[in-house]
Amino acid sequence: MNETHITTDVVVIGAGPVGLFAVFELGLLDLKCHLIDILDRPGGQCAELYPEKPIYDIPGFSVISGQELTDNLMKQIEPFGAVFHYNRMINNVKKLDSGGFKVIDDEGQVYECKVVVVAAGGGSFQPKRPPVPGIEVFEDKSVFYSVRRMEEFKDQDIVIVGGGDSALDWVLSLQPLARSMTLVHRRDNFRAAPDSVNKMKELVAAGKMKLILGQIGELNGENGMLSSMTIKSADEVLSIPVTRLLPFFGLTMKLGPVADWGLDLENNLITVDTEKFETSVPGVFAIGDINTYPGKLKLILSGFHEGALMSQAAKRIISPDERIIFQYTTSSTKLQKKLGVK
């Protein structure tokens, strides 16, 4: 498939619960969607922050986990054939003279659509940057938050920080090609898979790598290239050589490029009306945690409501001449046909 140019009715930015349910409401009105998300799977915060945590305020479910809610929504929207694009961030939303929008992601993929729905929650999930003064100058030169090319790490003095699976997996993968390997973690207790932890401890016992209990102190180097760093441990500060640093502290949400799309913002949230949940740019809507209006509550159920009203407004933009009949899925055979009810 030639992926350079996609045309669709609606681009939904963010595949969290609210973005997913918007597909349902838009689908009942025959609108086709493409969803884009920076994560590698649907669910947004429900998938990344609390997949196993119970949620008690989803109407009709006395308790449901973030992952179950996501799975249920995916099943519910299946009839509408939405297309998902994962691991991508939208850099740009441009209004076209012809009406409609051109949306461009960080891989250069272009989506042409009539309506844009921003359902981006708290923004994009991005790696947590350790609050170490001056770390920015080393980023992408000698400090990395992911491993793109193993070659970059060959014969280097590598320091990996963290105690989860990413940290341990990369310790084991990069240790054979490193000049030296050090794992830094705040305590002698790891969330990572026990098997990886055992393998790491065997390497330490064999003198092939070091494990230091502590936290990142200062970074030293020139022109973005690290030469040494300090590790603060319980009762001492150690200085160790380092030429590649990989901090793995998980993800956090950053507003990101949304701020540059010309939408009116208030405290990093997109202002919308409460009839259509439309932004200051006609044809661009914002639903869920990313929007704000008087009385806003950041609840999943509020986002569902916002998606339903937004869909009516989107339909009027996309099919201005069509009369919209309000129907219930319980009684409408037309809607049931769309849902594949037999």
Partner 1 sequence: MLLLVTDQKGVKHELEALDGWRAMEVMRDWGLNIKAECGGACACATCHVFVDPTWVDRLVPALSEEEAMLDTVADTQDNSRLSCQIIMSDALDGLKLTLAPSAAK
The residues that touch partner 1, with contacts defined as CB under 8 A, are 45, 49-50, 53, 122, 128, 130-132, 161-164, 185-187, 189, 191, 215-216, 234, 247, 249-250, 252-253, 298
The two tokens of residue 45 are 């915060």
Q: Which residue, 77 or 160, is less far from partner 1 as judged by CB?
A: 160
Q: Which is nearer to partner 1, 206 or 234 (CB)?
A: 234
Minimum Å distance from CB 162 to partner 1? 7
Helix (H) or strand (E) holding 9: strand 5-13
3-state secondary structure of 297: coil
**Which residue, 69 or 310, has its beta carbon nearer to partner 1?**
69
* Beta carbon of residue 342, minimum distance to partner 1 (angstroms, whole number): 39
d(CA 205, CA 293) in angstroms, rounded, equals 58
What CA–CA distance (Å, rounded) separates 64 from 70? 10
Decide: 254 and 124 in contact? Cβ < 8 Å.
yes
Supply the minimum distance, in Å, between the C-beta of residue 301 and partner 1.
14
With the C-alpha atoms ordered 311, 314, 318, 324, is the resulting torsion angle positive or negative?
positive
Burial class (CB in 10 A: 0-12, 13-18, 19+), 195: exposed
Of 51 and 79, which has the nearer Cβ to partner 1?
51
Alpha-helical segments (H) within the chain: 17-28, 45-48, 66-77, 165-174, 194-205, 300-318, 333-338
Cβ nearer to partner 1, comparing 103 with 184: 184
Residue 273, phi-psi category: left (phi > 0), alpha (psi -120 to 50), beta (remainder):
beta
Between 219 and 317, name the residue whose CB sits nearer to partner 1: 219
Distance of closest approach, residue 282 Cβ to partner 1, in angstroms: 30
